[in-house]
Chain A
Amino acid sequence: MTRQPVVSQLGTLSNDEIHRYGRHVIMPEFGIEGQRRLKASSVLLIGTGGLGSPLALYLTAAGVGRIGLVDYDVVEHTNLQRQIIHGESTVGVLKTESAERRMKDLNPFIQIDRYDVPLTSDNALEILAPYDVIIDGTDNFPTRYLVNDACVKLGKPNVYGSILRFEGQLSVFYAKEGPCYRCMFPEPPPPGLVPSCAEGGVLGVLPGTIGTMQATEGIKLITGIGDPMIGRMLLYDALDMTFSTIKVRKDPHCPVCSIPAEQVELIDYEEFCGVPSHDHAPTHAAAHAGVSARAVGASAGSGVSSNGGHDVNYDLDAPVPQMTPIELKALFDRGEHPFIVDVRNEPELEVAVIAEAGVDSVLIPKPQVLIAVDEIVSGRKTADQTVIGQIPRDRDVLFLCRSGVRSTDVINALREVGYDPARLINIQGGILAWSRQVDPSVPLY
């Protein structure tokens, strides 16, 4: 089947390039024309991580003439379980730079544009505008809605791929010809319900499977061959090894793609989704790094906002008190027994624990805390009837996770149900920081 290709121009190929792309050009569906179209085409990859790695590699190898990379992260060892464009030699290097090195080695005939910045409502239209096809390989809801809305406004196809644990989704959202992301998912799930890959984990091969299929869809759109996934979504389950296809309908009342494109306005997507658009520990933690948790605790109760039925008004906007691993070690050394709530998932305890944490510590995974908080807020249970009944209110409580993100989320949730914010203290940087600063025998993961 053929359709109108997204790219109408034809690039010029040298003899060296024709030789390189020989396996493409001999296919009748593709031919020299398809290859010239690829050469003239431009693709923007949002994210150079799990999905972005196979995308960048295969689109580079296939001969897409211009590839843009948007990512502001640097390569870490934990990326290498799945982000196969990077390697040991580029740990600590910007992902866009690391990817560029590999791409140039793979194919010197293409142009690579790097955007080492977060994609925001302020810069998205400018960054997306020069490209024919946008491929979404990001890791969070705010950026997914931003990419969708910007694509609708600019009239560009958005090749969507998303992964979690052992499941993946693939679709092409192209408002000119079918539904957009918001037709399928008009609003994001409540914050905390859907874990990120950093929290929930992901099979390392999974982004390879989905990212490779995104690359396939991109090439089909550019060259006009085949039947792209417009109006359909592929659901992949790696455990069952099943692929299912469902229909995605255009919503005639879609707030974004049912109105004239020029009227689409980019909004504050972090506010829309109620979560930040990145996976890192909150940066404001650094500003409080020098403040001891005990000292912060002494300033409790300066109330400005209501706290859901409790008598005391607490300042829910106050920064989350932080305790550094060094300060925690000092507590242990003084013979104190801080109450620690570990909010990681059970399998993570088999990987790394703080050996000094004693009998006063409990494991309550973040999802269980959030369920309990929902039950309390909805009035179905009191705090004592849920798992968080184990968390004392009359003493300082420390919260631990891998990097300090989930523990901060849990603290913010507990603040909403009346816990004294000054007594909920985050172990800054989580067990990773504990390993780096105090006990190197604890593995990083």
Chain B
Amino acid sequence: MANIRIPTPLRVFTGSESQVAVEGDTVGAALANLTVRYPELRQHLYDGEALRNFVNVYLGEDDVRFLDGLATAIDADTSLRIIPSIAGGL
């Protein structure tokens, strides 16, 4: 089980939910379960089996790419965060 924080631009795919609790022992399993629940998210997160270049998934203050990537182990208390690319300023 992990808690995934959904950024504003992706909430359109999660019925406006900002936090989603999902099962999974790894980052990859948690994200996969997230996209099972919200299938439209998949194409925005994945390019084939890998995360898309512009999708940054963080565990704590670390990008999971610099941990063990999608194989990074997580537990019930883990909070994951998808960091969005946003451009507003005006």
Most chain B beta-carbon contacts within 10 A, residue among A51, A52, A193, A245: A193
Taking a contact as CB atoms under 8 Å apart, the answer to whether B86 and A247 are in contact is no
In this complex, how many residues of chain A approach chain B with their Cβ under 8 Å: the count is 53
Which of B8-16, B22-30, B70-78 lies at the interface?
A: B8-16
Mark the stretch among A16-24, A157-165, A291-299 that contacts chain B.
A157-165
Kindly report which residue of chain A lies nearest to residue B40, judged by CB atoms: A371
Query: Which chain A positions have C-beta within 8 A of B7?
Result: 167
Judge whether B90 and A162 touch: CB under 8 Å. Answer: no
Please give, as numbers and ranges, the residues of chain B lying within 8 Å of A351 by CB-CB distance. Answer: none
What's the dominant secondary structure at chain B's contact region? mixed
For the complex, what is the distance from the CA of A200 to the CA of B58, rounded to whole Å? 24
Q: Per-position contact with B for A131-172: 1 when CB-CB < 8 Å, else 0? A: 000001111110010000000000000000111111101000
Question: At the interface, yes or no: A50 with Cβ under 8 Å from chain B?
Answer: yes
A208 vs chain B, min Cβ distance (A): 12
Contact of A194 among B9, B61, B89 (CB under 8 A): B9
Taking a contact as CB atoms under 8 Å apart, the answer to whether A163 and B86 are in contact is: yes
Interface of A is mostly: mixed
B88 part of interface (Cβ distance < 8 Å): yes
The answer, among A195, A202, A249, A371, for a CB contact under 8 Å with B63, is A249
Q: Does A188 contact B (CB under 8 A)?
A: yes
B1-53 residues at the A interface, CB under 8 angstroms: 7-9, 12-13, 40, 43-44, 53
Given contacts A371-B12, A371-B13, A375-B40, contact A49 B54 (CB under 8 A): no
Give A84-98 as 1s and 0s: 1 = Cβ < 8 Å from B's Cβ atoms.
Answer: 000000000000000
A207 to chain B: closest CB distance in Å? Answer: 7
Asked if A359 CB lies within 8 Å of chain B CBs, one says no
- Please, how many residues of chain B have a CB less than 8 angstroms from a CB on the other chain? 25
Separation of A169 and B90 alpha carbons in the complex (Å): 14
Which of A34-42, A179-187, A407-415 lies at the binding interface?
A179-187
Say whether B89 contacts A163, CB under 8 Å. yes
A191 CB to nearest chain B CB (Å) = 12
Given A187-B54, A194-B9, A371-B13, A247 contacting B61 (CB threshold 8 A): yes
| Residue from the set B54, B85, B87 with the largest chain A CB neighbour count within 10 Å | B87
Q: Give the complex CA separation of A245 and B83 in angstroms.
A: 11
Nearest CB in chain A to that of B9: its residue: A194
Find out whether the CB atom of B53 lies under 8 angstroms from the CB atom of A187.
yes
* Interface members, chain A 13-60 (any B CB < 8 Å): 47, 49-52
Q: Say yes or no: is A108 at the interface (Cβ < 8 Å to chain B).
A: no
Q: Which residues of A contact B81 (CB under 8 A)?
A: 235, 244, 246
Quick check: A164 and B43 within 8 Å, CB to CB? no
Separation of A9 and B71 alpha carbons in the complex (Å): 50
Whether A138 pairs with B89 at a CB distance below 8 angstroms is yes
**Does chain B have a CB within 8 A of A338?**
no
Q: List 22 A-B contacts (CB under 8 A).
A: A50-B89, A137-B89, A139-B87, A139-B88, A139-B90, A162-B86, A163-B86, A163-B88, A164-B9, A164-B86, A165-B8, A188-B54, A193-B9, A196-B87, A202-B88, A235-B81, A246-B61, A247-B61, A247-B66, A249-B66, A367-B12, A371-B40
A-B pairs, 3 with minimum CB distance = A49-B90, A139-B90, A197-B88
Binding site for B on A (CB under 8 A): 47, 49-52, 79, 83, 136-141, 144, 161-167, 169, 184-190, 193-198, 200, 202, 207, 233, 235, 244-249, 279, 367-368, 371, 374-375, 378
Q: Using a CB–CB distance below 8 Å, which chain B residues touch chain A?
A: 7-9, 12-13, 40, 43-44, 53-54, 56, 58, 61-63, 66, 81, 83-90
